[in-house]
Structure 1
Amino acid sequence: MKRLGPMAALWLALCSGAAWTQQVPEGRSAPQASEAVKYLSGGAGDEERSQLMAQWPQFPLLIVFSADGGAYAVPDSVRIANAHGTSLLEVQQAGPLLMVNLPPGDYRVQARIGGTVQERSLHLGSQPQRLDWRM
């Protein structure tokens, strides 16, 4: 059985409106779900970034990861927990764009790159929110 390339998988998923749980090792941009939390991750190239950004209104949270110099960064892992500390989403090799479909509320986001772990508190309202995160 022939495997779809990352862009073909993204196109197919976007056209069908489907979210799937299969990991996409190279492209990381196909819609994915972790339990009930849907997310998109990817955006390394200009075309892929444009395709992802077109989907932003469907995802209340957009996190853009970058290094100190401004170049895009890809954290080793990202974890999002609710206000009670319950883990809702854990993504490996997330980004540099990570879009997450979460309801309004308070969250704790943790990103790990190399040996460094950073955390942010986040309040989501009813409007889509962008979080620019320098690693």
Structure 2
Amino acid sequence: MARHKGKAALALAWALCGALAWAQQPGTDAGSMVETVATPAAVKYLNGGAGDEERSALMAQWPQFPLLIVFSASGGAYAVADGVRVANAQGTTVLEVAQAGPLLMVNLPPGEYRVQARVGDAVQERRLQLGSQPQRLDWRL
């Protein structure tokens, strides 16, 4: 049993490493797993959740992120958007993520935001108001 717990812990650590990404100032190495966002301050986010264990590990982190977006297909199965863009009330892009989901958690300050999700040539948009409590947005692609 101890060996099984060790494997589960290793799988959980691996899933978290694969799911964690930091948006940093321009100049980040394009060959790394770190994505670049041209904003005055870095926006922390988690992206992933392909398997049950990875989703559970990500959901444990949700209280640290004001916004959780859960992408699903029309039949209810989890889905991945080709790209997601988040803009603030002034229209400035604060985050862009390629291959977002099925879970995308974003650390944003309270305020108004416009979120666009792209699948193929189709773009869907949602407007939201973030407050002090974490908010979940269930999004059918």
Q: TM-score range by the shorter chain?
A: 0.7 to 0.9
TM-score by length of 2: 0.77
For the residues of structure 1 that align with 2:23 and 2:66, how far apart are their CA atoms? 15
Matches within 5 A, 1:7-46: 7-8=13-14, 10=16, 27=18, 29-35=19-25, 36-46=42-52
Aligned residues: 115
Q: In the alignment, what sits opposite 2:101? A: 95
Letter of the structure 2 residue corresponding to residue 95 of structure 1: G
Aligned with 1:122 (options 105, 128, 135): 128
Note the C-alpha offset of 1:50: 0.1
For the residues of structure 1 that align with 2:55 and 2:22, how far apart are their CA atoms? 16
Note the C-alpha offset of 1:32: 2.1
Which segments of structure 1 move beyond 4 Å, counting only runs of 4 or more? none
Q: In the alignment, what sits opposite 1:19? A: none
Q: Structure 1, residues 45-84: CA drift from partner, whole Å, max 9, x if none?
A: 0000000000000000000000111011100000000001
Q: In the alignment, what sits opposite 1:60? A: 66
- If you compute each CA radius of gyration, which structure gives the higher value, 1 or 2? 2
Unaligned stretches of 5+ in structure 1?
12-26
For the residues of structure 2 that align with 1:98 and 1:54, how far apart are their CA atoms? 13
Aligned with 1:104 (options 89, 95, 110): 110
Q: Structure 1, residues 88-126: CA drift from partner, whole Å, max 9, x if none?
A: 000000100000000000000000011110000010011
TM-score by length of 1: 0.80
Q: In the alignment, what sits opposite 2:33? A: none
For the residues of structure 2 that align with 1:113 and 1:49, how far apart are their CA atoms? 21
Q: Percent identity, aligned pairs only? A: 76
For the residues of structure 2 that align with 1:80 and 1:88, how far apart are their CA atoms? 6
For the residues of structure 1 that align with 2:117 and 2:12, how far apart are their CA atoms? 24
For the residues of structure 2 that align with 1:120 and 1:104, how far apart are their CA atoms? 16
For the residues of structure 1 that align with 2:24 and 2:84, how far apart are their CA atoms? 12
Unaligned stretches of 5+ in structure 2?
1-10, 26-41
RMSD over aligned Cα, in angstroms? 1.8
